[in-house]
Chain A
């Protein structure tokens, strides 16, 4: 199939970007969206032009690197899918596809479609971990965990930190991401010792990074490639409110 692509081009974070139009020919419906971009980039290199910069890594939907906002939706038209898992059969011959980077002040554009998502790393560094003293590795099954809690925790842990939630939210809020990371650990006994400080520190860092506040619109849940539930945001609120009143931190 032949397609017209309108892609955001931006030299670096200090320059102003704009849309550029590209034509790609002979795209197979079996190709992934990123493979279509590979074809386009090869074509641009052969023409002596600069290829389009975009993030990608595992190309199997688990690393959270790909981050394209395709035709008005993070990761494109398919539900519960990352950009790398999106296939060209989602489009028709002759389609015009608009590809933009994630838009949020907390995620500045580095180049073309690549945004700086270190804000997420800083949030994780603020509390998205458990502290384990050195020593022998403990048997994983030594601590009994309720099956239901383990399942909920696993569902939250599926968050790959791609940032689609921030990209989709009208407030550029990172609450779905933070709630997934907090829920993942708060539901497990291993997360209990640092439960209160974790949520307080992660929320403080989230605000510091310049993300907006959640107004429960649900856009994040609708576009999340890992289908992280809004239920986690409510749990995060409960954890935060509880910790605010009972934490010893002043």
Chain B
């Protein structure tokens, strides 16, 4: 869980960095170039396979862990310990993970499938745009189209909230599992994790919100 979790955290850094290019307010030119680089570079395409393997492993391990752990207490308590010993999100990683998975299915359908598999069979193909005389897939326009729907924007924001709480526990927990026991460094990791789990999902959430409210585009 910890190793795959940390690699997925590393992916989030790249993802949020690339997507933040939409705020360059250049009608998506910078973002489309970055997205093209991600899609056209062989090394990154190989890493993408690793990313999918990582996500699937993380999901399978998570589900196994959740069901295995649930089977260890057949009779529950009349009065549960609740929040007096731990945070609700620490105890709800399975639920939060499932919400993120549902979000991911929608997210992949919206952007990854048309971007990578567009034109194959019935899969919707992305439009194109010309930047400095070169033709690029217009992923930016796709974002603008998708985020015209309030319902989708709300679902994206909810997905980001789930991610925030998932990271709030997962970030520091991964380091504990990997053996970080020095209290000083653990406090630093916990602090960095808390900031990361607020800043990154907030940045992601602001993307559909900015487009929907017409702040960019």
Which A207-250 residues sit within 8 Å CB-CB of chain B? 210-220, 222-223, 230-235, 237-239, 241-242
> Nearest Cβ distance between residue B93 and chain A, in whole angstroms?
7
* Bound CA–CA A74/B80 (angstroms): 10
Enumerate B61-77 residues with CB–CB distance to A below 8 Å.
65, 68-69, 71-77
Partner of A217, one of B76, B77, B90: B90
Q: Is A189 an interface residue (CB 8 A)?
A: no
Q: Encode contact with B along A121-151: 1 for CB under 8 Å, 0 otherwise.
A: 0000000000000000000000000000000
Contact A237 B82 (CB under 8 A): no
8 A Cβ contacts from B148-186 to A: 169, 172-173, 175-181, 183, 186
The answer to whether A238 and B181 have CB atoms under 8 Å apart is yes
Distance between B197 CB and nearest chain A CB, rounded to angstroms: 15
What separation, in Å, do the CA atoms of A106 and B73 have in the docked complex? 8
Mask of A83-108 contacts with B, CB within 8 angstroms, 1/0: 00000000000000010100111100
Q: Would you call B93 and A215 a contact (CB within 8 A)? A: yes
Q: Are A241 and B86 in contact (CB under 8 A)?
A: no
When chains A and B are docked, how far (Å) is the Cα of A75 from the Cα of B204?
44
With A98-B78, A103-B77 already in contact, the answer to whether A172 and B69 are too (CB < 8 A) is yes
Chain B nearest CB from A18 CB (Å) reads: 11
**Contact call A213/B90, Cβ cutoff below 8 A:** no
Q: Mark B125-163, 1 if CB is under 8 A from A, else 0.
A: 000000000000000000000000000000000000000
- 7 pairs across A/B with beta carbons < 8 Å? A168-B85, A173-B69, A212-B69, A212-B73, A231-B186, A233-B176, A237-B179
